[in-house]
Amino acid sequence: MSDRPYKVTPVFDEVTLPKALRAAHNTKAGVWGVIRVLDGALHYFVAGKAEKGLLLTPDRPGLIEPEQVHRVEPHGSMRMQVEFYDHLPILHD
């Protein structure tokens, strides 16, 4: 099993972050995601979890479990991308 993602999104900033990622959505069965903040910060909300969400930073990536309903919101100026895996990824740089 490779520790590399099978797909990576383009880099988005607070202006180019798609509306679809800002709205509630989910990954497919068997698909794990890792939200990597490259600069700045991003709010990560998971349905059914803490109302205020998590503040993701370059040192704090966000794990998306398969079929987990979630959304993100920029926290000021930021750059981020999402990595996709077919297994539970290791969260490191």
pLDDT(64) > 60: yes
CA separation for the pair 90, 36 (Å, rounded): 12
At 49 the pLDDT is: 77
At 14 the pLDDT is: 97
- For residue 77, give the nearest of 44, 31, 30, 39 by alpha carbon: 39
Block residue for tokens 């999104």: 9
User: 58 burial class (0-12, 13-18, 19+ CB within 10 angstroms)?
Assistant: middle
pTM: 0.92
pLDDT in tens, 2-59: 689 999 999 999 999 999 999 999 999 999 999 999 999 999 999 987 677 899 999 9
3-class DSSP assignment, residue 15: coil
CA separation for the pair 44, 81 (Å, rounded): 13
Domains and CATH numbers, the chain: 7-85 (2.60.120.10)
